[in-house]
Amino acid sequence: MRMIDLIDKKKDGKVLTKQEIEFIIDGYTKGSIPDYQMSAFLMVVYFKGMNREEISNLTLAYVNSGDKVDLSAIEGIKVDKHSSGGVGDKISLIVIPLVAATGIPVAKMSGRGLGHTGGTIDKLESIEGFKTELDSDTFISNINKYKMAIVGQTANLTPGDKKTYALRDVTGSVDSTPLIASSIMSKKIASGADAIVLDVKVGSGAFMKSLDKARDLAETMVEIGKSLNRKTIAVITNMDQPLGHEVGNANEVREAIKVLKGKGAEDETTVALTIASYMTILGGAFKDFDSAYRSLNNIIKSGKAIEKLKEFIKIQGGNCDIVDNPEKLPNAKYNIEIMAKEKGYISAIKADSIGVAAMLLGAGRKTKEDKIDFAAGITIVKKYGEKVKKDDVICVLHTNMENCTEAKIMAESAFKINKDKPEDIKYIYDVIK
Ligand code: URA
């Protein structure tokens, strides 16, 4: 088999076989296929697409390029969730203890942030002592005993996807449905969960900017999951403004604590309860959405969810005092207020600009090697649809940097103020089962 023939075959709009896709991913992972040929192939896929069978085969080829996690020693239906990437997205921090509190085992494998979207592992590491590198025995025994554990992605999990993703990032081929779907699903399949809830984000802070594209991605991933015997549900959620009020790391942990105490922002609480509901339904705890949603809300109200968060932090080696004393989490030296330039209603908060501004303040990485400042981030004071007067504080930048002019300009430009009240927005667009 020759790579050039497979590029030509796809260029002619033909369907690649399982063996041909395996040849490409295996060759690229091992280095026998060079970057320039892989780049050409990715661009052909970007324009010609792939059918569902090809996408499933690509997913499997990524899975088979590295290690697979064996969770068979864990009792019950193991559930996992994955977000396609957002700004202020702290849903995992909320749903892990919440779902575990119902007795459903949550086996969570998470990544770090890159670019304008944050990563759950970075957020958790803002808690003193919190360990995200667990050996597999501890991971499994924590799930059996406490029904929850989280680990960072191991170096050899789906290396084919890792190498391809890095190439896509610099060759303009990230926002392609077959390539995103196979990339996300390969990591979920390799991490061994039986059931997966996908949070597909749509809007200015997401890879998918239109609802049609998000729905196509969601349907594709659900089909891949099913074809590989994983119970899969995708929830399409709004990412036209940052989720909740906090974007960063330590401040996002503070906000997750609020949600688990029943004092969270409406958008965040709704999305978290929806994702958690489907996780518990797939795990077999509840039969229907309404009873799941109601019961999870009651778990929050009863104080059981926040106690489970304390337990979660403790078993991962972290200082759980921060739950009762969130001010003990890292705080920034400078807190810079940004004011409204005119009166009116907040008609847009560009989530991607807020994500980039937070990264510039130190909350994210420009390159993989950058170190994160856990205290840095942004508080969104005024959300979409809120009324403001001139000079009202609309957001606060938290940083340890003396000069943050670029971040200030970026954050300020993310807010649009209109004299008319904008239409209400939906937090949840659709659920694909
Ligand atoms: N997240 C992934 O893991 N892969 C993609 O391609 C896009 C988002």
pLDDT digits over 117-154, tens only? Answer: 678 999 999 999 999 988 889 999 999 999 999 998 77
Best CATH choice for the domain 3-49 from the list 2.40.160.20, 3.30.70.260, 1.10.3720.10, 1.20.970.10: 1.20.970.10
Decide if pLDDT at 365 tops 90.
no
Is residue 161 part of the annotated active site? The answer reads yes
Distance (Å, rounded) from C-alpha 82 to C-alpha 91?
10
pLDDT digits over 43-63, tens only? Answer: 999 999 999 999 999 999 999
**Residues with Cβ within 8 Å of residue 328, at least 6 apart in sequence:** 319, 321, 322
**Residues with Cβ within 8 Å of residue 145, at least 6 apart in sequence:** none
Is residue 245 part of the annotated active site? The answer reads no
Q: Where do you find CATH 3.40.1030.10 in the chain? A: 79-323
pTM: 0.93
pLDDT digits over 184-218, tens only? Answer: 999 999 989 999 999 999 998 888 899 999 999 99
Class assignment of domain 330-418? alpha beta
The pLDDT assigned to 400 comes to: 97
Distance (Å, rounded) from C-alpha 85 to C-alpha 89?
8
Q: How far is the CA of 205 from the centre of ligand 1 (A)?
A: 14
Ligand 1 atom closest to 165 (CA): 6
Distance (Å, rounded) from C-alpha 1 to C-alpha 74?
41
Distance (Å, rounded) from C-alpha 349 to C-alpha 412?
9
Decide if pLDDT at 178 tops 80.
yes
The pLDDT assigned to 110 comes to: 86
- Active-site residue, selected from the candidate residues 65, 92, 183, 353: 183
Mutation pick for ligand 1 pocket among 163, 180, 224 (CB with most ligand atoms within 8 Å): 180
Q: How far is the CA of 261 from the centre of ligand 1 (A)?
A: 31
What's the chain's length in residues? 433
pLDDT digits over 223-269, tens only? Answer: 999 999 999 999 999 999 999 999 999 999 999 999 999 999 999 99
424 pLDDT band, cuts 50/70/90, is: very high
Nearest to 115 by CA among 366, 373, 375: 366
Distance (Å, rounded) from C-alpha 68 to C-alpha 416?
46
pLDDT digits over 266-290, tens only? Answer: 999 999 999 999 999 999 999 999 9
Q: Where do you find CATH 3.90.1170.30 in the chain? A: 330-418
Q: What 3-state class would DSSP assign to 398? A: strand
Q: How far is the CA of 292 from the centre of ligand 1 (A)?
A: 29
Decide if pLDDT at 369 tops 80.
no
Distance (Å, rounded) from C-alpha 400 to C-alpha 257?
24
Is residue 398 part of the annotated active site? The answer reads no
The pLDDT assigned to 382 comes to: 98
Mutation pick for ligand 1 pocket among 62, 83, 84 (CB with most ligand atoms within 8 Å): 84
Q: What 3-state class would DSSP assign to 90? A: coil
Decide if pLDDT at 111 tops 80.
no
**Mean per-residue pLDDT for 366-395?**
93
- Active-site residue, selected from the candidate residues 108, 187, 201, 398: 187
Q: Which helix (DSSP H) or strand (DSSP E) does residue 160 occupy?
A: helix 159-171
Sign of the CA dihedral running 332, 333, 337, 338: negative
Decide if pLDDT at 20 tops 80.
yes
Q: How far is the CA of 179 from the centre of ligand 1 (A)?
A: 8
Protein residue closest via CA to atom 7 of ligand 1: 180
**What average pLDDT does the structure give for the chain?**
95
Q: How far is the CA of 406 from the centre of ligand 1 (A)?
A: 27
Distance (Å, rounded) from C-alpha 353 to C-alpha 317?
34
Higher-confidence position of 6 and 173: 6
Q: Where do you find CATH 1.20.970.10 in the chain? A: 3-49
pLDDT digits over 152-172, tens only? Answer: 877 688 999 989 988 998 888
Domain 79-323 grouped into CATH 3.40.1030.10: yes
Decide if pLDDT at 114 tops 70.
no
Q: Give residue ranges with CB within 6 A of ligand 1.
A: 84-85, 165, 174, 179-180, 183-184, 207
The pLDDT assigned to 155 comes to: 67
Decide if pLDDT at 115 tops 70.
no
Protein residue closest via CA to atom 6 of ligand 1: 180
Distance (Å, rounded) from C-alpha 251 to C-alpha 379?
8
Decide if pLDDT at 98 tops 90.
yes
